[in-house]
Amino acid sequence: MPTDTKTVSSSRLMSLSEAAKRTPYTSNFLRLLARRGKLQARKIGRDWLITSDELSLFIKRQQERHQHALDALRASEKVRI
């Protein structure tokens, strides 16, 4: 029975389908990010795989980016008032 996780060189890899279950993103969107080089995933055969650490780092960067955008929006609203 195939699984969605593999171990390569002591690093736990998961498929982008499994990664999508742990994020607010779809597997199709994660694959798009991987193809564009915005997500550090590896293509092995026809499957895109990512480590737990890389996925956590991506989510952290996204949260920081969104927080920065929210802070900028709040600052611009204060200027208008």
The per-residue pLDDT for range 22-53, each reduced to its tens digit, is: 999 999 999 999 999 999 999 999 999 999 99
Q: Cα–Cα distance between 36 and 19 in angstroms, integer?
A: 17
User: Could you tell me the pTM of the whole model?
Assistant: 0.74
Instruction: Tell me whether residue 28 is exposed, middle or buried, using C-beta atoms within 10 angstroms of its C-beta: 0 to 12, 13 to 18, 19 or more.
Output: exposed
Helix (H, G, I), strand (E, B) or coil at 16: helix
**pLDDT-derived band of residue 11, with 50, 70 and 90 as boundaries?**
low
- Mean pLDDT for 57-62 is 94
Domains of the chain: 5-80 (1.10.1660)
Residue with tokens 């999508």: 20
Which one-letter DSSP state was computed for residue 38? Answer: S
Q: How many CB atoms lie within 10 A of CB 73?
A: 10
| Residue 3 pLDDT greater than 70, yes or no | no
